């Protein structure tokens, strides 16, 4: 059984570095393809038979590694795990040289790293598609899965409000852009000292104007979460910020997602988290393990969203 989809007509190398580079139509096509592939399950046609994805990890991973590797295997291809402890890029070989060498071996490359500039340099010097598996600035693969989850549980994006509460980090950045692209309202609720980057907020607001949605940033948890359809949070200290944990806790304690706070959202809100989660810090156990939580279907959707992305980029 074959899947015919408009995205398959892409003929030139395209990367997936941020959602900025993708139109609303492209994002919706990816989501629709993800839904098609999810329905077919592991027995989907071997759309990537013979294809090989290289996966470079400078940051540790559970969901990113397993979902990409499983996606490639289920689509008939293969994936190779490349830790920077094991490859020469981690021992001084330039990013440009690494990109050129790997382009001769692989059909695509995914990297999970710290600096966005690393991903961009890799893509610039590569002749194969490059996927941003996570940087300190963006996490587009996660948000693709998040949008798929919201679509499944809420039916549409228009007229819906997503409230992200916590650090103005890579998740806040990508959620703003993703929401603006699909026409969903998005409010980022963060302490003044941890607001998202102004340049990214400005970009998301411009996109939102065109899609008829709104992007807002506030320091008031109660006002920001009011009438939300989706409540989203993330850890207060991400990888590489462990030394700041105690200081961050002092700033973020009033921003914990708990029963008192979510009482201001819509009665049928869903709770989301990119995981891993620290119960008792950014969210209480009764919320993340409660009946409003969709964090585990959300995590599973990493597999289906990335299948769609891989088919688009590699087929």
Q: Is 286 annotated as a binding residue?
A: no
Q: Is 238 annotated as a binding residue?
A: yes
To the query of whether residue 223 is one of the catalytic residues in this protein, the response is: no
To the query of whether residue 186 is one of the catalytic residues in this protein, the response is: no
Q: Is 20 annotated as a binding residue?
A: no
Q: Look at residue 28 and give its three-state secondary structure.
A: helix
Q: Is 61 annotated as a binding residue?
A: yes
Give the phi and the psi of residue 280 in degrees, each rounded to 5: 95, -10
Catalytic residue among 146, 167, 185, 274: 274
Q: Is 72 annotated as a binding residue?
A: no
Please give the order of strands across the beta sheet that includes 185-189. 215-218, 185-189, 161-165, 230-233, 270-273
Q: Is 302 annotated as a binding residue?
A: yes
Q: Is 112 annotated as a binding residue?
A: yes
Helices and strands, number each (H, E), in the chain: 12, 9
Cis-peptide into 276, omega within 30 deg = yes
Q: Is 42 annotated as a binding residue?
A: no
The secondary structure of residue 135, as a DSSP letter, is -
Provide the 10 A C-beta neighbour count for residue 46.
12
Q: Is 75 annotated as a binding residue?
A: no
Q: Is 142 annotated as a binding residue?
A: yes
Q: Is 64 annotated as a binding residue?
A: yes
To the query of whether residue 91 is one of the catalytic residues in this protein, the response is: no
Give the phi and the psi of residue 306 in degrees, each rounded to 5: -75, -30
To the query of whether residue 302 is one of the catalytic residues in this protein, the response is: yes
Catalytic residue among 5, 139, 248, 304: 139
Catalytic residue among 112, 173, 248, 304: 112
Catalytic residue among 248, 302, 304, 306: 302
Q: Is 132 annotated as a binding residue?
A: no
To the query of whether residue 259 is one of the catalytic residues in this protein, the response is: no
Catalytic residue among 74, 107, 137, 142: 142
Distance, CA of 293 to CA of 273 (rounded, Å): 9
To the query of whether residue 85 is one of the catalytic residues in this protein, the response is: no
Task: Assess contact for 240 and 246: CB atoms under 8 A.
Answer: no
Distance of CA 24 to the CA centre of its chain: 16
Give the phi and the psi of residue 75 in degrees, each rounded to 5: -95, 5
Binding residues: 61-64, 88, 112, 139-142, 170, 234, 238-239, 274-275, 302
Binding residues for L-ornithine: 170, 234, 238-239
Binding residues for carbamoyl phosphate: 61-64, 88, 112, 139-142, 274-275, 302
Catalytic residue positions? 112, 139, 142, 234, 274, 302
């Amino acid at each position: 059984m074959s899947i015919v989809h408009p995205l398959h007509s892409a003929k030139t190398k395209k990367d997936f570095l941020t959602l900025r580079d993708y139109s609303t139509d492209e994002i919706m096509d990816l989501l629709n393809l993800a839904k098609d592939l999810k329905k077919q399950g592991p027995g989907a046609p071997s759309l990537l038979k013979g294809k090989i994805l290289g996966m470079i990890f400078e940051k540790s991973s559970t969901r990113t590694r397993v979902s990409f590797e499983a996606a490639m295997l289920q689509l008939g291809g293969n994936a190779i795990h490349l830790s920077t402890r094991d490859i020469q890029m981690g021992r001084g070989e330039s990013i440009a040289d690494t990109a050129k060498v790997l382009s001769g071996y692989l059909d695509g490359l995914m990297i999970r790293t710290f600096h966005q500039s690393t991903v961009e340099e890799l893509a610039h010097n590569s002749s194969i598609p490059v996927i941003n598996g996570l940087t300190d600035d963006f996490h587009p693969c996660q948000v693709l899965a998040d949008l798929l989850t919201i679509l499944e549980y809420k039916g549409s994006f228009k007229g819906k409000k997503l409230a992200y509460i916590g650090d103005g980090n890579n998740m806040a950045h990508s959620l703003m852009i993703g929401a603006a692209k699909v026409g969903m309202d998005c409010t980022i609720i963060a302490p003044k000292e941890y607001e998202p980057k102004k340049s990214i907020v400005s970009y998301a607001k411009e996109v939102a104007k065109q899609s008829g949605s709104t992007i807002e940033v506030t320091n008031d948890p109660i006002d920001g979460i009011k009438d939300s359809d989706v409540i989203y949070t993330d850890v207060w200290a991400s990888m590489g910020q462990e030394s700041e944990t105690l200081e961050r806790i002092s700033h973020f304690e009033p921003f914990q997602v708990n029963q008192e706070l979510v009482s201001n959202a819509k009665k049928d809100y869903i709770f989301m988290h990119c995981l891993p989660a620290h119960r008792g810090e950014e969210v209480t156990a009764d919320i993340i393990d409660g009946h409003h939580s969709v964090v585990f279907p959300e995590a599973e959707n990493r597999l289906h969203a990335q299948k769609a992305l891989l088919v688009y980029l590699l087929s």
